[in-house]
Amino acid sequence: MSLCCSSSSSAAAAARRFLLPHLFLGRRSRRHDQVRYTVLHHPRTHTTAAAPAATASTPRLSPSQQRQVSLYVDALLDWNQRMNLTAVTDEDEVMTRHVADSLAVLPPLERAYRGDLGGMRLVDVGSGAGLPGLILAVARPSWKFLLLESMQKRCLFLEHAVEVMGLSNVDVVFESMGPHGQRTAVVYIKERVTPKKYPRHPGTPSKMPL
């Protein structure tokens, strides 16, 4: 498979250079080491109404990082013509609904993990088009990211994006750990009796949210 990316027009490139500051803005997959990662769980849908709030808190990107984001947007829109990566097909909307939303994860994440964040490891579960994992990998090159995606064709896109963006801190996984895939058991141990107020009566949660 060719790892080339179609270049955008000069007008589109100029527009993107304007949008990125306004928003404050290769390798093949391999089996990852058995290390602890922080899991990124993100919704599949976004609303444009949330974009202004996200914009206000997102960090700035250097010119080289803006270039990496630009390459990602080119690749996303190019590959989206051949496979279903995103319902957003307008370049400006990609910037506000995908890039800005992804960067908006950083401030609360960094507040939650105080201290030295240089060795942070994160897993983007069900990465899809690489959001927010690839954008966060651009913004924080000292962090390590694992993009976990179950569909092979999307893994091919993610590998392509990692290559063209020049990211060295990202691994992509569609890779079974056994002949029938990896199995994970999540066990919860109940340590005390459930309070009598639970479960709450229908209608109570909406009237008296916790």
Cα–Cα dist 43/144, whole Å: 21
Measured distance between the N- and C-terminal CA atoms of the chain, rounded to whole angstroms: 51
Closest CA to 68 of 172, 163, 158, 142: 163
**Does pLDDT of 67 surpass 50?**
yes
Q: What class has domain 35-207?
A: alpha beta
Closest CA to 29 of 187, 155, 129: 155
Q: Which phi-psi region, left, alpha or beta, contains residue 147 (left: φ > 0; alpha: ψ -120 to 50)?
A: beta
What pLDDT is stored for residue 34 in this prediction? 45
Q: Residue 67's CB: how many other CB atoms inside 10 A?
A: 18
Cα–Cα dist 148/136, whole Å: 15
Closest CA to 161 of 42, 1, 25, 20: 1
Rounded CA Rg of the chain: 19
Query: Residue 46 in contact with residue 98, Cβ under 8 Å?
Result: yes
Higher pLDDT, residue 27 or 35: 35
Q: What is the mean pLDDT of residues 127-150?
A: 96
Q: How many residues does the chain have?
A: 210
pLDDT single digits (tens) 69-94: 999 999 999 999 999 999 999 999 99
H helix and E strand count, the chain: 9, 4
What pLDDT is stored for residue 184 in this prediction? 72
**Does pLDDT of 128 surpass 80?**
yes
Best-predicted range by mean pLDDT (23-32, 93-102, 104-113, 167-176): 93-102
Largest Cα span, the chain: 65
Would the pTM of this model clear 0.75, i.e. be above it?
Answer: no
